Structure 1
């Protein structure tokens, strides 16, 4: 795994929410690192997220 996927904010219609600079807003998400470290294959990692 090279990086964590970005968690992008959208409104109820699926439109991206932008900050004052026009970049899409993101949010933090807690990660169960013990479960993530237990992934044996890339498919396991993909299913995790």
Structure 2
């Protein structure tokens, strides 16, 4: 994973953790489940020319 992406993910987890007071592992689980619901969009993006 590119460092920029890892940093953005860490920042999102941190922000949601403080907003909701939920444990970070719970926040990460919710974010990943959301991403998994958009697999078709990810597949489409992977098909686009770079």
User: What range describes the TM-score normalised by the shorter chain of this pair?
Assistant: 0.3 to 0.5
Structure showing greater radius of gyration is: 1
Task: Write 1 or 2 for the structure with the bigger share of helix.
Answer: 2
- The structure whose RCO (Cα within 8 Å, separation 6+) is larger is 1
**Alignment TM-score, normalising by the size of structure 2:** 0.32
**Alignment TM-score, normalising by the size of structure 1:** 0.32
